[in-house]
Amino acid sequence: MTTGTDNELSERFEVAFNKIHTWLQKNIKHAKTTKYTELLRIGFPIHAIIRKHYDDLKIYGRLRNSIVHDKVEPGFYIAEPHMSVVEQIEMIASKINEPRTALSIATKPVFYYLEDAKLKDILTVINRKRYSVYPIYNQSGYKWLLTAEGIIQWFSQNLVENTVYLDEVRVKDLYSFNPPLSVEFVGQETDMFVVEEIFEEYHQKNKKLEAVILTETGDQSEKPLGIITSWDLVEINALE
Model confidence pLDDT, tens digit, residues 201-234: 999 899 999 999 999 999 999 999 999 998 888 7
Pick the residue with more confidence: 57 or 73? 57
Q: Which of 96, 125, 155 is the last residue of a domain?
A: 96
- φ/ψ of 30, rounded to 5, equals 70, 5
Q: Are residues 122 and 71 in the same domain?
A: no
Q: Are residues 124 and 215 in the same domain?
A: yes
Q: Are residues 208 and 111 in the same domain?
A: yes
Answer for the pair 197, 29: CB distance below 8 angstroms, yes or no: yes
Residue 182 β-bridge partners: 209
pLDDT above 90 (res 137): yes
Average of per-residue pLDDT values in the chain: 88
Report residue 70's pLDDT band, with 50, 70 and 90 as the boundaries. Answer: low
pLDDT above 50 (res 180): yes
pLDDT value of residue 1: 39
Report residue 74's pLDDT band, with 50, 70 and 90 as the boundaries. Answer: low
**Average of per-residue pLDDT across 56-80:** 76
pLDDT above 90 (res 8): no
Rounded CA gap, 143 and 136, in Å?
6
Q: Are residues 208 and 131 in the same domain?
A: yes
Q: Are residues 72 and 123 in the same domain?
A: no
pLDDT value of residue 109: 92
> For a pLDDT cut of 70, what percent of the chain falls above it?
90
pLDDT value of residue 6: 55
pLDDT tens digits along 21-46:
999 999 998 888 999 999 999 999 99
Q: Are residues 32 and 123 in the same domain?
A: no
Q: Which domain holds residue 84?
A: 4-96
Q: Which of 34, 62, 96 is the last residue of a domain?
A: 96
User: Residue 124 sits in a domain of what CATH number?
Assistant: 3.10.580.10
pLDDT value of residue 163: 75
Q: Are residues 143 and 211 in the same domain?
A: yes
Q: Are residues 116 and 78 in the same domain?
A: no
Q: Are residues 112 and 81 in the same domain?
A: no
Q: Which of 38, 71, 96 is the last residue of a domain?
A: 96
Q: How many domains does the chain have?
A: 2
Report residue 238's pLDDT band, with 50, 70 and 90 as the boundaries. Answer: low
Q: Are residues 123 and 62 in the same domain?
A: no
pLDDT above 90 (res 4): no
pLDDT value of residue 10: 86
Pick the residue with more confidence: 66 or 96? 96
